[in-house]
Homo-oligomer: A and B are copies of this chain.
Amino acid sequence: MEATERSQLRRLPDRGSHESEVIHKILDDGFLAHVGFQVQGQPFVTPTLYGRDGDTLYLHGSAASRMLRELDTGMPACVTVTLVDGLVLARSAFNHSMNYRSVMAFGTAKKIADAAEKTRALHVVSVHVLKGRWKDVRGPTEQELKATAVLRFAIEEASAKVRQGPPLDNEEDYSLPVWAGVLPLKLVSQEPIPDPRMVEGVEEPEYVRNRSDRA
């Protein structure tokens, strides 16, 4: 993608990228976005699940959601996805950092009216969040589709920022007897908790037991 004034990487451009491949990979490794929009001079940042199809992100929620209603007016929005990879512990306070991968995507969103298209978009989100789940569950009824707002967020511009690797200290600090390195962090699945009201004899699906750990 091309960099404009809006998406230009200001700080540490060596950490940044406008390559679609890098951007798509980060968006696919995450599932939680923070969506920024402004209403009457006040910015809001709302966490939400999403799915990706090409340069489109699908956001969904209640038809009564303020965020989705506001975004549907066509106002400019920013969707940011951040994956935390670790704390970077340097020898000096100043050089402490975080290893992470993030994408900041700019664009506008529009509600999907067509029921079939809406269902397809919800399928994209479901597959994105937990692959394998959709085929096992009862699909949405007409009434449920009406109560759900699904937005197509078209990415107009985006940039990625990535920091990896060990701390970078001032040359004279390397001789200090301070523990330095990276404390990796990872969002990991824990032991599944079956619903107490589940009917007997239902097997735990493979995608629940072996969800690939993603941020």
Chain A residues within CB distance 8 Å of chain B? 6, 10-12, 32, 34-38, 41-47, 49, 61-62, 64-66, 76-80, 82, 84, 86-87, 89-94, 96, 98, 100, 102, 104, 106, 122, 126, 129-130, 133-134, 136-141, 144, 147-148, 166-167, 169, 173-199, 201-205, 208, 211
Q: Which chain B residues lie closer than 8 Å to A169 at the CB level?
A: 197
Provide the residues of chain B in CB contact with A104, threshold 8 Å: 44-46
Contact partner, A199, options B175, B187, B203, Cβ 8 Å: B175
Distance between Cα atoms of A86 and B204 in the complex (Å)? 16
Contact A90 B199 (CB under 8 A): no
Which of B84, B196, B202 is close to A179, meaning CB atoms less than 8 Å apart? B202
| Set of chain B residues within 8 Å of A62, measured between Cβ atoms | 11-12
Q: A167-B195, A188-B186 are in contact. Are A79 and B140 (CB under 8 A)?
A: no
With both chains docked as a complex, state the minimum distance between the C-beta of A199 and any C-beta of chain B, in angstroms. 6
Can you sample 6 A-B contacts with CB below 8 Å? A34-B80, A89-B133, A93-B144, A94-B147, A183-B190, A184-B189
Known contacts A138-B178, A192-B181, A197-B174: A49-B92 contact under CB 8 Å:
no
A184 proximity list for chain B (CB < 8 A) = 189-193
Q: Evaluate contact between A93 and B122: CB separation under 8 angstroms.
A: yes
Residue of B nearest to A12 (CB): B62
| Cβ 8 A contact of A144, one of B11, B79, B94 | B94
List the 5 closest A-B pairs by CB distance, nearest first: A36-B45, A184-B190, A34-B34, A45-B80, A36-B43
Whether B41 pairs with A36 at a CB distance below 8 angstroms is no
Given the complex of chains A and B, what is the CA–CA distance between A137 and B91 in angstroms? 5
For the complex formed, measure the closest distance between the CB of A154 and the CB atoms of chain B, giving whole angstroms. 15
Are B130 and A66 closer than 8 Å at their CB atoms? Answer: no
Contact of A45 among B35, B86, B180, B192 (CB under 8 A): B35
Chain B residues in 8 Å Cβ range of A82: 32, 34, 47
